[in-house]
Amino acid sequence: MRLVQFILPDRGRRVGLVEEDTVHDLTALREGWTLLYHVFREAQGAGRTVEKHIQALLQQNEAPRLPYEPLWDNRPGDDGGWLLPPLDHPDPTHCIIGGTGLTHTGSMTQRDAMHEDQNAKQTDSEKMFSMGLEGGKPAPGERGIAPECFYKGRGFIMRPHNGFLDIPSFAEDGGEEPEIVGCYIIGEDGTPYRLGFAIGDEWSDHAMEQVNYLWLAPSKLRTCAIGPELITDHPFKDIRGSCRIYRQDKTIYDSGELLTGEEHMSHSLANLEDHHFKHPQFRVPGDVHLYFFGTSKFSFGNRGPLADGDRIEIEFSGMGAPLVNYVRRIPPDDTPIIVRKG
């Protein structure tokens, strides 16, 4: 099932089901479904999954249909309506965004080159990746080795399909990381529920990270993009895709084939989820979690600095329509933040 959230200027926020080139407007059938979050809460009360709950509604009613292409083409604020990230929270402070890295062979190679120490027998990146290969896919019921993990921010940093990804004035650079994102809501009893997966651009400052790998954590404190669709029924085993960056009509980067899913990773999905949600602060009832699972390639080191208006397009097999975003450089401002006495 392919689910989207979108805005129609004259009718407000909507939840939709995508089938081929059509969007079924579910909110027209259930007025309270202005967020997928609301659908989940209602499905929980009925003892169903989101997928089964939507199917039950559509068995009794036929939803109005909209053409999908104009929504996908439009940018935020356009007259005809536009797409939103496919999962968020009514209060962005309760949407937690994080992720993991060094889960794919390709990313280990690039990160290893960034962190290389000629005097070291094995870099920290190599050590972390080797640990994943040895213990990242435990038997059912066992806890495997912990992955690298990081925190990006809360729902305020999330950008929709066709939205801007910012390079702040204090940043060294901005760079895409094409990934799959796990989409979760914590139930009332503290149990994490996975609604499905979406395409994501994790967006990081690799130039900053290259100076010193201990700056990896702040290099992640940037905007990110998720969408345009949430896929409820993907097996997350063998997913293939690509990323291209365009400057006007010229391609300035082409990733070639990207490989993700468990067959191409050093950790199982269950192990990554276990090590994220083992922390009690990540099991607060009602919270939304968006978790990036890592990439196999990124463009840093294979192109010059990104410029205003550069277009980034990411697609993955079985994950619906491609995710498109645009680069926006924030004008320089070296004015320090002054903290006042309260």
Closest CA to 10 of 24, 37, 28: 28
On the question of pLDDT at 110 being above 70, the answer is: no
* pTM score, whole prediction: 0.94
Write out pLDDT tens, residues 187-201: 999 999 999 999 999
Angle in degrees, CA 240, 292, 270, rounded to 5: 85
Residues 91-103, mean pLDDT to the nearest whole number: 95
Q: Write down the residue that tokens 């990110």 correspond to.
A: 224
Confidence of residue 98 (pLDDT cuts 50, 70, 90): very high
Task: Please give the pLDDT value at position 183.
Answer: 98
On the question of pLDDT at 13 being above 80, the answer is: yes
On the question of pLDDT at 325 being above 70, the answer is: yes
> Token digits for 48?
């169903």
Task: Please give the pLDDT value at position 279.
Answer: 98
In single-letter form, the type of residue at position 259 comes to: L
End-to-end CA separation in angstroms for the chain: 50
Residues 256-269, mean pLDDT to the nearest whole number: 95
Task: Please give the pLDDT value at position 123.
Answer: 81
Q: Over the range 312-328, which residues count as b (16 or more CB within 10 Å of their CB) and which as e?
A: bbbbbebbbbbbbbbbb
> Token digits for 11?
């009718």
> Token digits for 277?
């949600």
Task: Please give the pLDDT value at position 332.
Answer: 86
User: What torsion do the CA atoms of 124, 129, 130, 133 make, to the nearest 10 degrees?
Assistant: 170
Confidence of residue 331 (pLDDT cuts 50, 70, 90): very high
Angle in degrees, CA 54, 199, 25, rounded to 5: 30
Task: Please give the pLDDT value at position 106.
Answer: 65
Confidence of residue 115 (pLDDT cuts 50, 70, 90): low
H or E element in which residue 247 lies: strand 239-247
Task: Please give the pLDDT value at position 128.
Answer: 84
Task: Please give the pLDDT value at position 334.
Answer: 82
Distance CA 304, CA 288 (A): 36
Distance CA 40, CA 33 (A): 9
Task: Please give the pLDDT value at position 126.
Answer: 83
With pLDDT > 90 as the criterion, what percentage of the chain qualifies? 87
Write out pLDDT tens, residues 278-295: 999 999 999 999 999 999
> Token digits for 196?
């499905």
On the question of pLDDT at 153 being above 70, the answer is: yes
DSSP 8-state assignment for residue 282: G
| CB of 1 closer than 8 Å to CB of 232 | yes
The DSSP bridge pattern shows strands 288-292 and 178-186 to be antiparallel
Task: Please give the pLDDT value at position 108.
Answer: 56
> How buried is 20 (Cβ within 10 angstroms: 0-12 exposed, 13-18 middle, 19+ buried)?
exposed
Distance CA 196, CA 180 (A): 10
Write out pLDDT tens, residues 37-57: 999 999 999 999 999 999 999
Task: Please give the pLDDT value at position 333.
Answer: 87
Distance CA 92, CA 38 (A): 14
* Other CB atoms within 10 A of residue 216 CB: 20
